[in-house]
């Protein structure tokens, strides 16, 4: 078993009571695996080693919730940006008489990849990320 420490804090168990932790900004030794502040640059969770996944899974609740907050902000901005890009492409196509773009635009594929990325990280971190759960419930 690997020893996991976050700054001067002790190792935490896998089970924690969520929503009781106060998320705060992650810097220095509190930032697990040296993750970039931009969640879009995080590796996909399926590429992590067992030890890396365990490192994240045993992080204190406030660390996981802080990462979840970063993930939620990134996903919300990315989803809005890509939806707007799709709307613009669909509008341009209609104005130019090229027909309608329904569900095959590059922007929609990128939005779907962003959703899968965010969903995988939310599951790994065991946190509820706003916008992700709603997408799971409606299947979209």
pLDDT 10s digits, 99-128: 666 555 677 788 888 889 999 998 888 887
CA distance readout (Å), 89 to 32, 75, 92, 98, 106: 39, 21, 5, 11, 10
* Residue 34 maps to a domain: no
Number of domains, the chain: 1
User: Which tokens belong to 127?
Assistant: 């946190």
pLDDT at 140: 43
More confident residue, 11 or 69: 69
* Residue 103 maps to a domain: yes
Alpha carbons 28 and 12: distance in angstroms, whole number: 19
* Residue 43 maps to a domain: no
pLDDT band at 21 (very low <50, low <70, confident <90, very high): low
* Residue 7 maps to a domain: no
* Residue 131 maps to a domain: yes
* Residue 71 maps to a domain: yes
Residue 128, domain extent: 48-138
């Amino acid at each position: 078993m690997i020893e996991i420490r976050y700054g001067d804090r002790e190792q935490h168990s896998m089970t924690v009571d969520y929503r009781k932790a106060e998320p705060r900004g992650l810097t220095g030794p509190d930032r697990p695996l040296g993750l970039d502040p931009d969640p879009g640059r995080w590796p996909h969770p399926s590429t992590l080693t067992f030890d890396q996944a365990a490192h994240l899974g045993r992080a204190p609740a406030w660390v996981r919730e802080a990462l979840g907050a970063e993930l939620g902000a990134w996903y919300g901005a990315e989803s809005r940006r890509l939806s707007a890009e799709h709307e613009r492409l669909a509008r341009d196509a209609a104005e130019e008489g090229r027909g309608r773009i329904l569900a095959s635009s590059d922007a929609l594929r990128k939005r779907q990849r962003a959703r899968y990325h965010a969903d995988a990280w939310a599951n790994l971190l065991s946190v509820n990320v706003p916008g992700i759960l709603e997408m799971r419930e409606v299947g979209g």
